[in-house]
Structure 1
Amino acid sequence: MVTAGAFEFGQTIWNRRLEIGWSRPELAEKLNTRAGLTTCDGALIYKWETGRHAPKAWLPHILHVLKIPADAAALLRPPTARTAPAHTCENPPIGLPEAVFDRPQADTLLAMLDASGPVEPDTVRQLAHAWLISEPPQILHQRAGRRVGDSLITEVRTRTNTLRRMDDYLGGLDLIAQVTGELRATVHLLREASYTEQTGRRLLELAAEQAQLVGWVAADAGLNQQAQRAYTVGVHAAEAAGHRGLGGLNLGGLGYLLASTGSPENGVVLTRSAAVGAAPYAGARERAMIWDRAAWAACVAGREREAAAALGRVEDAHDAHQPDAGEEPDWLYWVCRAESLVMQGRVWTELHRPLRAVPILQAVIGTYDHEHARETALYRSWLAAALLDAGEIEEASAETIRVIDLSAGVTSDRVAKRITMLAGRLTPHTHVPAAREVLDRVREQR
């Protein structure tokens, strides 16, 4: 099991090895030479670096060969001998799968879902680092319980795809119980059913897709801690399935959420890790989506140049997309250049660059189907904010009224917060009749 101390010491090994410029096999050769043995290999070093095994007899040789200070070994002492606070049951450690995914690992997924606390800030960088350097585990064949075959996998996937499209029309509070129930049902199959390794990987891929959907829906419902937990489950499940693209989808989703809820620097770490780690395995539209999120996290952190560079990568990814290149995963159905243009507009709005933001948002919003009320309301809220930055109070007020009209019957915490923000920004302009109309409408809704 990965422990905080073993993971931290593993990071020390990893950092020193890269500073020196050795591969894992090269380090293993150095350690074998010093110890007079032949039993160290790259796989063992990988387990040390990811915190899955703590070096014991090898410790003095590691310290000597890598020239690591002896006091770094204090990281490997039991928690009672260290000053770092122990994790509580509300905040269990967030790790990646062990070398074998089996029933106890499925229990870990359920424990992550049931935890009540948020993902602690000090685990964010650990999660990103572990994901970037880890390798997928083997999956233990489950030989007891209900037999899972292709027909059940197809049925679960169809339900998941349907729920994903329902999210286009329903707010988070309307959908959260259903999507969470689907994820729990899939994890219970992993825990209790009988399946081959291939089927197990397909179930884990489904769990990762469902976890991403739960994270998105929970965030829309204002359940941010539940969303954080769902995304970490998705990273864990995708890693177990050996699906780097799904891992990046969930890691980037977690980073996007953290950036949007007060932790922009952690958001930058996760979204950039997702973009870099998933890029070699991702198709063009996957890369576009992940870099969109990296651009958002960078702009919220105030890094304009970094945000602009990420937007450039998004454009490159869309230019590289070939619609006839082959079948793509269903969870990419909504990713298109128009969605990325909206993100461009949002980024420039967040950076208070209305001359860039307003033309982009006005052009793309006009192409949207108002049946997608929540998304259109959110996008128009960004246009209203950009118009306020430009000093166009009447136009901003008119857009805010449209947002309020679109939000009627939509149970979205995100939309509600955007309306509250816009009302707050319009409050100093009560001398403008259009602004007073907005404030009257907001008071009527409360």
Structure 2
Amino acid sequence: MGVNASGDSQVRPPNERLTSWFQRSGWSKGELARQVNRRARRLGAHHISTDTSRVRRWLDGEQPREPIPRILAELFSERFGCVVGVEDLGLRSARQPAAVSGIDLPWAGPQTVALINEFSRSDLMLGRRGFLGTALTMSAGPALIEPMQRWLVPTPTDGEPLPGARLLTVAGGGRGEARRLSGISEPELAVLEETTAQFRRWDAQSGGGLRRKAVVGQLHEVTDLLAESHPEPVRRRLFRVTAELAELAGWMSYDIGLQPTAQKYFVLALHAAKEADDRPLGAYILSKMCRQMIHLGRGDDALELVHLAQYGSRDTATSRTQAMLYAMEARAYATQGQPAKCHRAVRMAEETFGQIGADERDPDWIGFFSEAELNAENGHSYRDLSYVAGRSPTYVTRARPHLERAVALFGEERERNPGGAHHRSYALNLIGMATVHLLEREPEAFAAQASEAAELAGRLRSERVNDRLRKTYAAAQRDFGDVPEVRDGAAVFGAQPPANSAVRAV
């Protein structure tokens, strides 16, 4: 039996998985070959020169060598708007080191600090088109879920510094002097926490693109502090700040379209939250990972993540946090097209939100989950169900009052406090309301809401908002391209009619 071009010692059967994705893509063999070559050159792999005959051999069962499997996974993921893994294409991939794959990492304090320090430094130095833009890959399915489940496994915490770390002496201060805690004082810790909260507010006001590097820089500085020896309460407090900053760096990366970078930060944030022994914060981070999977069309993964968050924080999370998790569970069920379970999760979110007491103390990171956000999530759940069910009017009718309420509340907030309002959330919900008008065949109302969102988007640094507007205008152009307001808005965003009618707003 002969040896094929990739070095395999036997002839393999045709690759039915790759053939299926290829046929649905609409690409020709020549076009796929050209895209592989272009992507390879961006990676610095100038030795790769693919042609139509090579693509044919892949479809016939030949296993290409790295980095081609990863390139193909990226190309098909971008084509279909969801995570398409190497294994989904019926291909083998060389196992990547943890620093590159970003998921299956050791659950230990010193390693967590070292990985965050290294990753944030790479982000600051190389940025969007360097290491982070080419070497990272998304993880999904068991490769994502199984490592995250270890969040719940107890691990010993010794609080020891990293090898070679600088040991600082605790100095006792006199009257009026801040007491030093192994190199950092109580006021300094409070400033770190307030700075993190301020970054969070700026993100909600302006989008993730404006201050992302500032957050990454602050994260890098905090990991330097963690390389020192601290009493356990200080150590946990520093890890909590680290987890919040890493989550925010991930969220901002997600908002500007850097999906693999966002996932890596989320995973590192979860590791830091575990070191801080903060289960509710860990659940919050998992909810952001859930939202990313919904955005990428991975409803099964999203549901696994939110259930893991609910299980891990069931006895420790506040009512507001639990309500948020129920709302995310509803979003995941909507993505899967499970209306009964979605409706139950919506009801649980509303009931749990109603149990929030006046004396309940919430951490700053969950403060965003207001009545407006509750209605926004539940409205989008029913809107998504409508699309999954072929534009079912039943679910549009349920979506409309929730999204109308969300838009009204965000608008009132903006009028009361223009400088501190959640402008991005307002824009996303204007887009969500516009899609409801589109589903109910109200093109003029659609155009009015979309135009208001577009005006607000011009003052944001959020690729997520711009992407939603492009896709929503594209869907409207297919149905109402003869309406001047729709046609003009689509032209501004360069929107082209899609191959199908699915529109998501996350």
Aligned-partner residue type, residue 300 of structure 1: T
SS of 1:320's partner is coil
Q: Name the % identity.
A: 23
Confirm whether residue 365 of structure 1 aligns to residue 399 of structure 2: no
Counterpart residue number, 1:109? 116
Are residues 337 and 110 of structure 1, via their aligned partners in 2, closer, same or farther at CA, if it must alter by over 3 Å? same
Contact 1:294 1:307 in 2 (8 A): yes
Specify whether residues 160 and 215 from structure 1 end up closer, same or farther in structure 2 by C-alpha distance, changes over 3 A only: same
Q: Please state whether the residue corresponding to 2:101 is helix, strand or coil.
A: coil
Could you say which residue in structure 1 is the equivalent of 2:476?
426
Q: In 1, Cα distance between the equivalents of 2:149 and 2:320?
A: 24
Deviation per CA, 1:155-192: give whole Å up to 9, x if none: 1111111111111211211121111111111112112x
User: Residue 333 of structure 1 corresponds to which residue in structure 2?
Assistant: 367
Q: CA deviation at 1:143?
A: 6.3
Corresponding residue SS for 1:409: coil
Offset, 1:222: 1.1
Paired residues of 1:96 and 1:131 also in contact (CA < 8 A)? no
Q: Is the 8 A contact 1:135 1:242 kept in 2?
A: no
Root-mean-square deviation over aligned CA pairs: 2.3
Q: Which moved more, 1:370-379 or 1:179-188?
A: 370-379
1:299 maps onto 2:309 in alignment: no
Whether 1:239 aligns to 2:274 is yes
Q: How does 1:282-431 map to 2 (within 5 A)?
A: 282-325=317-360, 327-352=361-386, 353-368=395-410, 369-370=413-414, 371=418, 372-428=422-478, 429-431=480-482
1:381-440 CA distances to partner (integer Å, 9 max, x unpaired)? 011111111111221121111111111121111111111111111212122233223224
Q: Please state if 1:95 is matched with 2:111.
A: no
Give how far 1:443 is off.
Answer: 4.8
1:176 aligns with 2:212: yes
For 2:401 and 2:156, locate their aligned partners in 1 and report how far apart those are by CA, in whole Å: 45
Alignment of 1:225 with 2:225, yes or no, is: no
Amino acid at match of 1:86: R
Q: Hey, what's the Cα distance between the residues in 2 that align with 1:130 and 1:109?
A: 18
Q: Matches of 2:115 and 2:492 in 1, distance apart? A: 47
Q: In 1, distance between residues paired with 2:199 and 2:276?
A: 22
Are 2:294 and 2:335, in contact at CA under 8 Å, matched by a contact in 1?
A: yes
User: How many pairs align?
Assistant: 357
Q: CA deviation at 1:107?
A: 1.0
In structure 2, the CA distance between the partners of 1:294 and 1:135, relative to structure 1 (3 Å rule), is farther
Equivalence map 1:56-205=2 (5 Å) = 85-88=94-97, 90-98=100-108, 101-102=109-110, 104-111=111-118, 113=120, 114=122, 116-121=135-140, 122-135=142-155, 137-140=157-160, 144-145=167-168, 147-191=183-227, 193-205=228-240
Distance 1:309 1:276, change over 3 A: farther
Change (3 A) 1:373 1:93: closer
Letter in 2 for 1:431: D
Q: Distance in 2 between matches of 1:112 and 1:127?
A: 19
State the Cα distance separating 1:111 from its structure 2 match: 4.3
Q: Distance in 2 between matches of 1:235 and 1:221?
A: 21
Following the alignment from structure 1 to structure 2, what is the Cα–Cα distance between the partners of residues 140 and 203? 14
Partner of 1:17: none
Residue deviations 1:260-287 (CA, integer Å, cap 9, x gap): 1232221111111112211211011111
Q: Alpha carbons of 1:96 and 1:253: their partners in 2 closer, same or farther (altered >3 Å)?
A: farther
- Residue 303 of structure 2 corresponds to 268
- TM-score (normalised: structure 2): 0.66
Give the match's secondary structure for 1:324.
Answer: coil
More helix by share: 1
Report the alpha carbon displacement of residue 112 of structure 1 after superposing the two structures with TM.
Answer: 5.3
**Does the 8 Å CA contact 2:207/2:462 hold for their aligned counterparts?**
yes
- How far off its partner does 1:319 sit? 1.9
In 2, distance between residues paired with 1:291 and 1:136?
Answer: 31
Offset, 1:136: 5.9
